[in-house]
Chain A
Amino acid sequence: MAVKADFDRFDDELRSMQELMEEQEISLHDKDLMVPINTLSLKKAVTVEPGTSIKQCVEILLARHFGCLLVVKNKNLKGIFTERDVLLKIAGEKIDLSKVKVDDYMTPNPVTLTMNDPIISALRLMHKGGYRHVTIVDEKGEPVSVLSIRDIVHYIVEFFPQDILNLPPHPIRVGAKNPDGG
């Protein structure tokens, strides 16, 4: 009898835990993507001037842990230079990096959004264009920051803190799946 009572208590606890989880269910709707980009805490853009060597650009990307640089002249956006440009146009080529300029390898006149545009516009742009970065400009058209796909992921994570951040260190898996063995 005592064992049965224990099981009943366990079932009750399990049920109340499930109810609690269901009460805390969160949903991200399209209206949550209509909030302006300025609600995201974006980092300031890293900029270089036209004429900067690719060697310097690569050094900056590495040192600042960034995936892209804006090429700016007198506060005017001239282009964007990303890791992807490095892979597609530079890697494996016999180029003296200190002699070539960012102007010849950047993507000129990239699409921009403002801080007041909704997040959804950035999502659509990135998805459709296959971009990972969107340049954000102020009301005068001067570049201020870059919205990256990382910021989108971070927005989702912050939306669901209990589901994504409150996780055990490793997924609970049924059966032994560790390739390194038991």
Chain B
Amino acid sequence: MDSKTLRSPIETLNPPKAVSVKVDTKLDEVLNLMKEKRIGCVCVVRNKQVAGIFTERDVLKRVVGARLDVKKVQIEEVMTTTPEYLFIDDQIAFALNRMDLGGFRHILLINAQGEPSGVISMRDIMAHLVKNVADKN
């Protein structure tokens, strides 16, 4: 990993596609989806545009202990609005900057139309480090 890598577009890390749900999806469906796919975050969309993000931290903050009826509550009511996002061709350095200074474990990646195109996580950065530095030789 070097300065040049950090100036490369996030796309070069092959970030996974974002798992998206619509704003009116019921909370229990989203929780089941996260458990089933073992993912820490989902992207919430309205008319194909990013409306919010829902993460494990939101589960802790707004769901557990809040006595919500998970079959009735819509994801829109418990998501984090105006999430941090970057474009897929922005530099990797920006993703690391946001993760470290902003404390975001996941950053949504969107395309020019404002539609979600992926998500980059601290885990992806770590995987890159293991593959390209730790296990290189």
Which A residues are closer than 8 A to B by beta carbons?
Answer: 21, 24-30, 32-33, 55, 58, 61-62, 67, 83-84, 86-88, 90-92, 97, 120, 123-124, 126-127, 132, 149-150, 152-154, 156-157, 160, 162-165, 167, 171, 173, 175, 177, 179
Chain A residues lying within 8 Å of B127, measured Cβ to Cβ, are 127
- B100 and A157 contact, CB distance less than 8 A: yes
Q: A97-B65, A179-B49 are in contact. Are A149 and B60 (CB under 8 A)?
A: no
- A28 and B1 contact, CB distance less than 8 A: yes
A62 to B34, CA, bound (A): 20
Q: A87-B31, A92-B31 are in contact. Are A33 and B60 (CB under 8 A)?
A: no
- B114 and A179 contact, CB distance less than 8 A: yes
Annotate B13-33 by CB proximity to A: 1 below 8 A, 0 otherwise: 000000000000001100110
Chain B residues lying within 8 Å of A55, measured Cβ to Cβ, are 65
Partner of A25, one of B3, B28, B63, B103: B3
27 residue pairs A–B, Cβ–Cβ below 8 Å? A21-B3, A25-B3, A26-B3, A27-B3, A30-B136, A33-B133, A33-B134, A58-B64, A83-B60, A86-B56, A86-B59, A91-B70, A123-B129, A127-B126, A127-B130, A150-B103, A150-B105, A150-B122, A152-B122, A152-B126, A160-B3, A162-B3, A163-B93, A164-B96, A167-B97, A173-B90, A179-B110
Chain A residues lying within 8 Å of B96, measured Cβ to Cβ, are 153, 156-157, 160, 164
Contacts between the two chains (Cβ within 8 Å), count: 134
A163 to B97, CA, bound (A): 9
Chain A residues lying within 8 Å of B64, measured Cβ to Cβ, are 58, 86, 90-91, 97
Chain B residues lying within 8 Å of A162, measured Cβ to Cβ, are 3
A33 to B122, CA, bound (A): 17
Chain B residues lying within 8 Å of A150, measured Cβ to Cβ, are 99-100, 103, 105, 122
- Nearest CB on B from A37, distance (A): 14
Chain A residues lying within 8 Å of B6, measured Cβ to Cβ, are 160, 163-164
Chain A residues lying within 8 Å of B136, measured Cβ to Cβ, are 30
Chain A residues lying within 8 Å of B2, measured Cβ to Cβ, are 25-28
- Nearest CB on B from A71, distance (A): 17
A171 to B9, CA, bound (A): 11
- Chain B residue at minimal CB-CB distance from A27: B2
- A24 and B3 contact, CB distance less than 8 A: yes
- A171 and B87 contact, CB distance less than 8 A: yes
Chain A residues lying within 8 Å of B91, measured Cβ to Cβ, are 171
Chain B residues lying within 8 Å of A97, measured Cβ to Cβ, are 64-65
Chain B residues lying within 8 Å of A27, measured Cβ to Cβ, are 1-3
Quick one: which of B55-97 are within 8 Å of A by CB? Answer: 56-57, 59-61, 63-65, 70, 86-87, 90-91, 93-94, 96-97
- A163 and B133 contact, CB distance less than 8 A: no
Chain A residues lying within 8 Å of B133, measured Cβ to Cβ, are 28-30, 32-33
